[in-house]
Structure 1
Amino acid sequence: MKPIPNAEGRRINWPNYKTGVRNIYFRMKAERDFASIGIELGHPDEELQELYFDQFGQLRKILESTLGEEWSWKLHQENEFGQIVSRIEKILPVVNVMDEKDWPEIISFLKPRIIALDEFWELVKPGFES
């Protein structure tokens, strides 16, 4: 991914994608039984978190058009650290990051989706900055 520029043509650290908006994260995970990619809303105020979630909901058609698929929407769930977060995500089940034979499938799953998320984010980010 390193040589691939972002939607603005700049170099980017894809695995540690910075949205530039506090409490909005793009997360990619590859674990022993799944891979996932998504938008995580981690605002500690659950009402504000829900407002962000609703704001993304208003942009759902643009998001799904950019991604070319539907993702799951989960409001107010506990993450692995016990924090309440909301997620918009896609999961690839039954892959294992520890099994080298699964790497091509995991990379093929994550790569086009993070590029599409970047493209989507460039369109809608100004609405989240204020």
Structure 2
Amino acid sequence: MYTREQATQLRQAFWTAFGQYMAPVPSAEGTKVNWSNYKTGLKHVYFKMEAGNKKASIAIELTHPDPDIQELFFEQFAELKNLLHNHLQEQWVWVLHTRDENDKTISRIFAEITQVSVFNQDDWPQLISFFKPRIIALDEFWSNAKYSFDGLL
């Protein structure tokens, strides 16, 4: 077991390593991007990567506090489902209105892997291999799809 400080240090070390590994990769639009803290440019729409003790996930998270607006955004992503899955080359899980770790209502479109731990450095190559192609594919998808969200707010 790790102390809270050791766990924080290991998580930070992983995300630093991931960021350094991804730094040379430009966005779909050819610009420099912070892959570990990807900015969609749209309030309440996040591309979130998480790595824990037993699993890792990458998700599109919709966090608008109004459930009806959140559902509207979810439906817009559903309209783009084929485009998204074509970029990802796989099907993801779609969940409208679930609860996050802070008990807030969110919606998620995600993929995850199990039996990996950010606290085991031997798993880091597998975690990077999981995150890298998916965050790049999300960026490619978003470079085309973001404009279809302009009129929603």
Q: Which consecutive unaligned segments of at least 5 residues does structure 1 have?
A: none
> Is 1:108 aligned to residue 115 of structure 2?
no
RMSD (Å), alpha carbons? 0.6
Residue of structure 2 in register with 1:76 after alignment: 97
> 1-side partners of 2:45 and 2:149: how far apart?
9
Q: Which residue type is aligned with residue 32 of structure 1? A: N
Equivalent-residue separation in structure 2 for 1:42 and 1:129 (angstroms): 17
Q: Secondary structure at the match of 1:92?
A: strand
Q: Which amino acid aligns with 1:5?
A: P
Could you state the TM-score of these two structures normalised by the residue count of structure 1?
0.98
C-alpha separation in 2, matches of 1:77 and 1:71: 16
Code of the aligned partner of 1:16: N
Matched with 1:22 is: 43
Matched-pair identity in %: 50
What letter corresponds to residue 140 of structure 2 in structure 1?
E
Q: With structure 2 as the length reference, what TM-score do the two structures score? A: 0.84
Question: Would you tell me which structure has more helix in proportion to its own residues?
Answer: 2
| Residues 1-130 of structure 1 aligned to structure 2 (within 5 Å) | 1-130=22-151
Larger Rg belongs to: 2
Q: Distance in 2 between matches of 1:113 and 1:53?
A: 19
Runs of 4+ in 1 over 4 A off after TM superposition: none
Cα deviation, residue 129, structure 1: 2.3
Q: Measure, in 2, the Cα distance between the counterparts of 1:93 and 1:49.
A: 28
Q: For residue 59 of structure 2, what is the amino acid of its counterpart?
A: G
Q: Which runs of 5+ in 2 are unaligned?
A: 1-21
